[in-house]
Amino acid sequence: MSEPDAQVQALLDGLREARDEFLKAVGDVDPGLRTAPGLVGDWSARELLAHVGYWAGHAAEALHRAEQGELAEFGRDDLSVDERNVVVARVAAEADYATAASREQGAYEAFATRLGAVERDTLEERDADGDTLAEIIAFDGADHYREHTLDVRAWFSGTEPADDEADNDDEIADDEADDQPEDAAADDQP
């Protein structure tokens, strides 16, 4: 396998550095608090780790679809970003912290491996939503890890987080529950 070109290597380096900073920030959370809600909105460190892991896996899937010549079909589905985040948080809440960490690591490794093998000209291809592969890589990768590193640091300093993403997800879940008859809402509870 040949070495990645300079642009791809810069994306890889940025991804690794951003993830390292995120893991350092999350690692500073007291182990007894890693599953306690409130780190970002109602999310704990466990849900946040699962969240960034999911989106790293999403970027890995975009890279895979690009390798297959199918990036133009990527993103054609029924779930919005917020709806996905609600599902990811719900699933993560049923796992322990070590499982969430292991899943994030696997997703990151798949992402980094596929990114290291991407051809530079593929970065300008577009998905079904019109986003370039480079934009997907940045948003789901380094930019996303950096965003949530800031959230964790804000939690430690007692300031407002950079984004209220988790709160928005909770509002969506509450709205969905409000839209259902009481019996149907009760059936959806884990």
pLDDT in tens, the chain (190 residues): 567 799 999 999 999 999 999 999 999 999 999 999 999 999 999 999 999 999 999 999 999 999 999 999 998 877 899 999 999 999 999 999 999 999 999 999 999 999 999 999 999 999 999 999 999 999 999 999 999 999 999 999 988 765 544 444 444 444 444 444 444 333 332 3
User: Which residue from 4, 18, 14 is spatially nearest to 122, judged by alpha carbons?
Assistant: 4
Q: Would you say 15 and 111 are in contact if contact means Cβ atoms under 8 Å apart?
A: yes
Q: How far apart are CA 49 and CA 139, in angstroms?
A: 16
What domains does the chain contain, in order, with CATH numbers? 6-187 (1.20.120.450)
Query: Partners of 40 in the beta sheet?
Result: 43
User: Which residue from 136, 137, 150, 133 is spatially nearest to 48, judged by alpha carbons?
Assistant: 150
| Model-wide pTM > 0.75 | yes
